[in-house]
């Protein structure tokens, strides 16, 4: 039994090596065990986010660079992305605040303005669909229109006024219709991005009751006899540290528990992987979807690339190990300065565009995501695995075709060699300090 291993670190990416599996030895020192016959959650896939800012950058690129980017993300030879998230109306990675309706009279007259999406988001999406027509789309509002909110501002938090619940549901319905007419079917929806965070950019506050009520009693009812009656509803869409409390407080209401499909989450407040494990055990019917994560825009140095890559690989490994089913990164594309962002909240994207040279900078984070998305296919399941040391972070998968995939990361400052055991076979792997390996075998 042979396999292939692909190694990446800050200096070299996707170095390929054949790996030979031999009969398992009787000793058990320095072992990483994969239990490929003991499976856990099913994987939906991997992807990134189409924001207005990402679309602005995409529109500024040459056709050659656009094609290169699309293939890097959506082709089978690239990341093979099959998931995507879009903001409903503006977010911080927009050129400014914008809404599809700006007044009650616009709403009453049916004057919906989707021009921002038509110019920057939808063309980018269509380019991705040409390469992978099976992309699954998720949408998340960052703020309702200002006139619907208690603070009359799309920024700085504020609540959606109760008298506008039905009107906001109508805006979302028109949004779904508009995208559907463009051949983009949105199948997943989170009620609000970060519903307990007051930000200087686009934001809105909900209690857990308000959020679930809007999803189950308002929007779901409105869409019942429409083409969107099978839309999947997610709550929270915020950092992992608040998952348990939000879920438990929401699901004490049986109607809400039955009407909500899952919880979305981000990584900005640290690990909290145990909360995923708790939710898997308490609410096994709920999907756990990673919907946003990024790292700050900093000077491009080896140290910074290494640090940023460490965040990505640590989160990817452990989120899947503890229960998530899908990974959606934040902006697919930004300028090399980390924008555009209308509140200067810049960050790094896995791929960034250098306008002066019409070239792409591919960051280490891109390769670390590819270590998963290129090998783990939709429908795969996570396999139980364990390692001799916490310095070797690892997670294993079994694809539908029986192919087995192990992703491991050496977070120590020295090289480590170990034995990968699957049943009665084993192979030896050596990882340099801060190096990632994907091992694939069948």
Do 409 and 369 share a structural domain? Answer: no
Show the 3-state SS of the chain.
CEEEEEEECCCCCCEEEEEECEECCCCCCCEEEEEEEEEEEECCEEEEECCHHHHHHHHHCCHHHHHHHHHHHHCCCCCCCCEEEEEECCCCCCCCCCCCCCCHHHHHCCCCCCHHHHHHHHHHHHHHHHHCCCCEEEEEECCCCHHHECCCCCECCCEECHHHHHHHHHHHHHHHHHHHHCCCCEEEEECCCCCCCCCCCECCECCHHHHHHHHHHHHHHHCCCCCCCCCEEEEEEEEHHHHHHHHHHHHCCHHHHHHCCEEEEECCCCCCHHHHHHHHHHCCCCEEEEEECCEECCCCCHHHHHHHHHHHHHHHHHHHHHCCCEEEEEECEEECCCCCCCCCCCEECCEEEEHHHCEEEECHHHHHHHHHHCCCCCCCEEEEEEECCCCEEEEEEECCCCCEEEEEEECCCCCEEEEEEECCEEEEEEECCCCEEEEEEC
The residue out of 322, 341, 375 marking a domain boundary is 375
Condensed to tens digits (0 to 9), the pLDDT of residues 64-83 reads 999 999 999 999 999 999 99
Do 351 and 404 share a structural domain? Answer: no
Bridge partners of 19, per DSSP, are 3
Do 244 and 370 share a structural domain? Answer: yes
The pLDDT assigned to 227 comes to 97
The residue out of 351, 375, 399 marking a domain boundary is 375
Do 406 and 365 share a structural domain? Answer: no
The CATH number of the domain holding residue 285 is 3.20.20.80
Any idea which residue has 């989170």 for tokens? 190
The pLDDT assigned to 204 comes to 98
Do 234 and 270 share a structural domain? Answer: yes
- Residue 1: pLDDT band by 50, 70, 90 thresholds? confident
Condensed to tens digits (0 to 9), the pLDDT of residues 253-280 reads 999 999 999 999 999 999 999 999 999 9
Rounded Cα distance, 78 and 80, in Å? 5
pLDDT (mean) for 333-348: 98
Condensed to tens digits (0 to 9), the pLDDT of residues 372-430 reads 999 999 999 999 999 999 999 999 999 999 999 999 999 999 999 999 999 999 999 99
Do 251 and 144 share a structural domain? Answer: yes
- Residue 312: pLDDT band by 50, 70, 90 thresholds? very high
Task: State both tokens at 281.
Answer: 């055990």
Q: Calculate what percentage of the chain has a pLDDT beyond 90.
A: 100
Q: Residue 321: what are its φ and ψ, rounded to 5°?
A: -65, -35
Condensed to tens digits (0 to 9), the pLDDT of residues 77-105 reads 999 999 999 999 999 999 999 999 999 99
Which residues touch 55 (CB under 8 Å, ≥6 apart)? 119, 120, 121, 123, 124
The residue out of 375, 398, 424 marking a domain boundary is 375
Distances (CA, A) of 72 to 16, 234, 351, 436: 18, 29, 9, 19
Any idea which residue has 């692909």 for tokens? 6
Do 117 and 241 share a structural domain? Answer: yes
Q: What is the mean pLDDT of the chain?
A: 98
Q: Which domain holds residue 397?
A: 2-40+383-441
How many domains does the chain fold into?
Answer: 2
Do 183 and 280 share a structural domain? Answer: yes
Do 268 and 234 share a structural domain? Answer: yes
The CATH number of the domain holding residue 397 is 2.60.40.1180
Do 56 and 86 share a structural domain? Answer: yes
- Residue 198: pLDDT band by 50, 70, 90 thresholds? very high
Rounded Cα distance, 98 and 116, in Å? 8
Which residues touch 328 (CB under 8 Å, ≥6 apart)? 46, 47, 48, 49, 83, 84, 85, 138, 289, 290, 291, 292
Do 249 and 339 share a structural domain? Answer: yes
Residue 441: which of 396, 395, 387 has the closest Cα?
396
Residue 238: which of 261, 268, 209 has the closest Cα?
268
The pLDDT assigned to 5 comes to 98
Condensed to tens digits (0 to 9), the pLDDT of residues 280-292 reads 999 999 999 999 9
pLDDT (mean) for 102-131: 97
Which residues touch 127 (CB under 8 Å, ≥6 apart)? 58, 66, 70
Do 414 and 328 share a structural domain? Answer: no
Condensed to tens digits (0 to 9), the pLDDT of residues 133-158 reads 999 999 999 999 999 999 999 999 99
Rounded Cα distance, 414 and 320, in Å? 25
């Amino acid at each position: 039994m042979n396999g292939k291993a692909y190694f990446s670190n800050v200096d070299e990416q996707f170095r390929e090596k054949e790996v030979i599996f031999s009969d398992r030895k009787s000793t058990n020192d320095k072992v990483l065990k994969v239990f490929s016959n003991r499976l856990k959650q099913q994987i939906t896939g991997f992807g990134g986010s189409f924001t207005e800012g990402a679309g602005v950058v995409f529109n500024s690129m040459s056709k050659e660079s656009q094609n290169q980017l699309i293939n890097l993300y959506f082709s089978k030879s690239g990341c093979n992305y099959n998931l995507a998230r879009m903001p409903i109306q503006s977010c911080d990675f927009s050129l400014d605040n914008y809404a599809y309706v700006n007044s009650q009279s616009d709403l009453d007259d049916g004057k919906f303005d989707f021009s921002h999406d038509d110019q920057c988001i939808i063309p980018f999406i269509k380019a991705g669909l040409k390469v992978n027509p099976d992309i699954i789309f998720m949408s998340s509002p960052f703020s309702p229109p200002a006139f619907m909110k208690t603070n009359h501002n799309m920024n700085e938090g504020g609540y959606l006024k109760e008298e506008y619940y039905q009107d906001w549901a109508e805006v979302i319905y028109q949004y779904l219709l508009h995208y559907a007419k463009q051949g983009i079917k949105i199948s997943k929806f989170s009620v609000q991005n970060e519903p307990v965070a007051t930000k200087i950019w686009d934001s809105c506050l909900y209690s857990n009751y308000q959020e679930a009520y809007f999803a189950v009693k308002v929007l779901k009812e409105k869409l019942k006899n429409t083409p969107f009656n099978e839309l999947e509803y997610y709550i929270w869409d915020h950092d992992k540290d608040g998952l348990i409390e939000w879920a438990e407080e929401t699901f004490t209401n049986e109607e809400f528990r039955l009407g909500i499909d899952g919880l979305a989450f981000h990584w900005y407040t640290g690990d909290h992987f145990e909360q995923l494990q708790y939710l898997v055990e308490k609410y096994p019917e709920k999907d756990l979807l990673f919907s946003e994560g990024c790292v700050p825009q900093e000077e491009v140095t080896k140290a910074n690339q290494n640090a940023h890559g460490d965040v990505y690989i640590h989160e990817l490994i452990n989120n899947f190990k503890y229960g998530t089913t899908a990974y959606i990164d934040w902006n697919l594309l930004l300028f090399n300065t980390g924008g555009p962002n209308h509140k200067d909240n810049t960050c790094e994207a896995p791929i960034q565009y250098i306008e002066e040279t019409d070239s792409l900078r591919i960051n280490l984070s891109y390769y670390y995501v590819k270590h998963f998305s290129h090998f783990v296919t939709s429908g795969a399941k996570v396999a139980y695995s364990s390692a001799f040391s916490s310095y070797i972070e690892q997670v294993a998968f079994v694809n539908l075709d029986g192919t087995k995939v192990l992703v491991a990361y050496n977070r120590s400052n020295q090289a480590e060699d170990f034995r990968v055991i699957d049943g009665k076979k084993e192979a030896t792997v050596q990882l340099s300090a801060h190096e990632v390996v994907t091992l694939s075998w069948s």
